[in-house]
Structures are given as C-alpha cells and as structure tokens.
Amino acid sequence: MKNLTLYATAFLLVVLDQITKMMIKGFSLFGFDHQGMYIGESFNVLGDFLRITFVENPGMAFGVEFGTGKIFLTLFSLIASFGLIYYLHIIKDAHRYVRIGIMLILAGAFGNFIDRMFYGVIYGNSPLFYGLVVDFIQVDIPDITFNSITYTHWPVFNVADSCVSIGMVFLLFFNKFIPMPYQDTIAPHTSEQDKTTIPNE
C-alpha cells in the first residue's frame, strides 16, 4: 500500500469525522440551516447498547480533561499531526499494518485538532485554539463502580477518537514490525568469507 493511498484515506476519515460532528452540532452553509442536536440530547440506535448522545468536551479523547493549558493541547495536536505525516514518510517501506496504524492516529489527531482550533470561532462561543470537541457515540457497558463512582457506559466519543484507538490497537498487535531508530543505517553483519587476516610480521 502506497503512502499516497494512506494520506488519501486519512483525509477521507477527517472529512467523515467533521461531517458527523457538524450533523450533530448543526450548521448554516450556503443558505441551508441544519438545526442539529442540543447538548445532552440522546436517542437510541441499537436499543440501549448504542446511542447518539451530544456532548462537548474541552480536553482529550473520550472526554478526558486536560485542565489548564488548552492552547498547548491544541498546538500539540497540530505538531503531532505534522510529526506523524513525516514519520509515515520515513517508514514508507515498513509493514503495511504499522503504516495503517500511524495513518489512523494521524486522522484522529487532526480531526480533533480542527474542533479545538476552529469550532470556537465558527460557532461564536470561544476564541481561536479554545474550541470544544464534539462527541456523540455512546456505547453501553456493564456497570462498573470505581471510587464510589458508577460508570454505566463507555465515555462518549467520536470518529476521530475511534481512529486513534484502532490505530493504537494496530501498533500494539504489530509492534515487532515498528522500525527502530536508525534501523536502516546499521551495518550488515560481516560474513566469514569477508574477513581478512593480517599476517604477523
């Protein structure tokens, strides 16, 4: 699989991520207004197992809070995206599933970066760099109680979060194929036939 195909796939995943988020949040474009959902609105897709639930978060994937320094998180997402593009370029001959994993993480990182960077300005509720990430996929899990808090479902997520998670799974399963630093510059082992003996003087 060529890198051009991977870049194109990453682009399409980012487009899918943004389309789904705008369908949830609503938009006005070329005279067409789509109302979207209100914060907290939810409806069943597959019974209680899979629901569409509109939430927004200021932090990382799956609603993890980052605390202060939101601008640094936004900039990190951008830098990480360019870093992954460069890394994908230099490992162009690596195992295809390693490159697919990197491509998925790239798509997810850039998808959520767009929310953080631009959504505040587009929707008029915060300045550049301070937009909220749109999450909407809610999956039911068996109730888990931890530190007196009961979790009834997996943290609400989006397409970009899914890309990052699946990409990480790819890298975990195929970690032995991930190129090591300077791997291609290591000198090959010298065979017995290549060895020369310096005679004693």
pLDDT of residue 166: 98
Residue 60 has a pLDDT of 54
Residues of the chain with pLDDT under 50: 62-63, 67, 185-198, 200-201
pLDDT tens digits for range 21-67: 999 999 998 889 999 999 999 999 999 899 999 999 876 554 455 54
DSSP for the chain?
A: --HHHHHHHHHHHHHHHHHHHHHHH-EEETTEEE----TT-EEEEETTTEEEEEEEESSSGGG----S-HHHHHHHHHHHHHHHHHHHHHTTTS-HHHHHHHHHHHHHHHHHHHIIIIIHHHTTSS-TT-PPEEEEEEEEEEEEEETTEEEEEPPPB-HHHHHHHHHHHHHHHTGGGSPPTTGGGSPPPPPGGG---PPP-
Question: Which residue carries 């197992």 as its tokens?
Answer: 49
The pLDDT assigned to 153 comes to 82
Q: What is the pTM for the complete model shown?
A: 0.82
Q: Quick one: residue 83, left, alpha or beta (phi over 0 = left, psi -120 to 50 = alpha)?
A: alpha
Residue-wise burial string across 11-39, b where 16 or more C-beta atoms lie within 10 A, e elsewhere: eebbeebbebbbebbeeeeeeeeeeebee
Nearest-angstrom CA–CA distance, 152 and 85 = 37
Query: Residue 195: its pLDDT value, please?
Result: 45
Tokens of 95: 């195992």
Active site residues: 135, 161
